[in-house]
């Protein structure tokens, strides 16, 4: 649900240069806390959040349809 909300929000603001990156940064910092930089880079490269969460070097699969 959250992924769909943020994807829609990002699409709305994608026409404004720099807005997409700012929205990705906010999303990454909110959802991924300490690993937000990894999540942000993944979002910039792929357009979606990471499918696996890495926290303190441990891998946790992301729940959902991904």
Residue 66 lies in a domain: no
Q: How many distinct structural domains can be found in the chain?
A: 1
Instruction: Tell me the per-residue pLDDT of 37-55, one tens digit each, with 9 for 90 and over.
Output: 988 998 999 888 887 666 6
Residue 34 lies in a domain: yes
Res. 29: pLDDT tops 60: yes
Which range of residues forms the domain containing residue 12? 2-61
Residue 49 lies in a domain: yes
Task: Give the pLDDT band of residue 4 (cuts 50, 70, 90).
Answer: low
With contact defined as beta carbons under 8 Å apart, do 3 and 48 qualify?
yes
Residue 21 lies in a domain: yes
Res. 13: pLDDT tops 60: no
With contact defined as beta carbons under 8 Å apart, do 24 and 9 qualify?
no
Residue 38 lies in a domain: yes
Task: Give the pLDDT band of residue 32 (cuts 50, 70, 90).
Answer: confident
Q: Which residue has the higher pLDDT, 18 or 58?
A: 18
Owner of token pair 């990156």: 21
């Amino acid at each position: 649900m959250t992924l769909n909300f943020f994807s829609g929000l990002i699409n709305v603001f994608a026409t404004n240069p720099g807005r997409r990156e700012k929205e990705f940064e906010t999303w990454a910092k909110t959802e991924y806390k300490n690993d937000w930089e990894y999540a942000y880079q993944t979002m910039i490269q792929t357009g979606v959040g990471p499918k696996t969460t890495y926290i303190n070097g441990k891998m946790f699969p992301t729940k959902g349809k991904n």
